[in-house]
Amino acid sequence: MNGKLYLVATPIGNLEDITLRALRILKEVDYIAAEDTRNTLKLLNHFEIKKPLISNHRHNEEEREDGLIEKLKEGKNIAVVSDAGTPGICDPGEIVIKKCIQENIKVIPIPGACAFVNALIGSGINTDTFLFLGFLPLNKKNRKQKLEQIKDSIQTVIIYEAPHKLQTTLKDLKEFVESREIVLARELTKIHEEFIRGNIEEIIEKSEFLKGEMIILIEGRQEIKIEEKQQEFKDMSLEEHYELY
């Protein structure tokens, strides 16, 4: 019988945020596939868990996939963990998950910390509907497309960013977000956790010398402009007008 693949969320800073179920699964599985085995080893040592580790980082995920699938087919249970938070969210996991689904191997997510969820609920910006973009692409053309998408979004937009690229990204956002509210969620669950609020210019100024992990949240565009509404109305087919009435 095939083993199971567990996707285990780990803390994003505060070690108390690991769940009882996550600890039990980490103790019970045969192997732990880790984004960075040194980081995971620190976590396991803290909770006195001893387990064989397999390296599964972004650059070797495709090579590792076959080995993991082989072990799962031998009936071994494997937990996938990333350095922090939920595996598969801007972290390795997706490739082996897809392969398991193809091979009829059971995939079981073990919920826990996920940085953008905490950032969103603490931001005070609309949580009903949101657009999670992960990291913005570095390629100029793709980046411009994403910035245009942000400009048009009526949903709250969430972006991950590395600390050393924060200022560049905020400056790139400047002409696309007008006066919309921006929140920087910084060092979540850690000692210096804070939410910094303001318009884009204020945020650029307040964050110039900031260090630590950060997430950018952008209020959705307020509403469709009247001219756009009129154009939308003009573009509707006869059937759509009929449906509307």
Q: Which spans of this chain sit near ligand SAM (rule: CB under 6 A)?
A: 12-13, 82, 84-86, 89-91, 114-116, 160-162, 185, 187-190, 213-215
Q: Which is nearer to ligand SAM, 65 or 213 (CB)?
A: 213
2 touches 73 (CB < 8 A)? yes
Q: Which is nearer to ligand SAM, 5 or 12 (CB)?
A: 12
Q: Return d(Cα 183, Cα 203) in angstroms, integer.
A: 8
Q: Return d(Cα 41, Cα 52) in angstroms, integer.
A: 10
Q: Using CA atoms in the order 9, 15, 17, 23, what is the torsion angle rounded to 10 degrees?
A: 60
Question: Which tokens is 59 given?
Answer: 């650059």
Question: Least separation, in Å, of the C-beta of 116 and ligand SAM?
Answer: 6
Residue 74's contacts (CB-CB under 8 Å, 6 or more residues apart) are 3
Q: Which is nearer to ligand SAM, 31 or 160 (CB)?
A: 160
Token pair 């963990």 in the structure block, residue? 81
CA 136 to chain centre: 12
Q: Which is nearer to ligand SAM, 156 or 189 (CB)?
A: 189
Residue number, nearest CB to ligand SAM: 85
Question: Least separation, in Å, of the C-beta of 84 and ligand SAM?
Answer: 5
Question: Least separation, in Å, of the C-beta of 207 and ligand SAM?
Answer: 13
Question: Least separation, in Å, of the C-beta of 239 and ligand SAM?
Answer: 43
180 touches 199 (CB < 8 A)? yes
Question: Least separation, in Å, of the C-beta of 208 and ligand SAM?
Answer: 18
Q: Which is nearer to ligand SAM, 26 or 89 (CB)?
A: 89
The CA-to-CA distance between both ends of the chain, in Å, stands at: 58
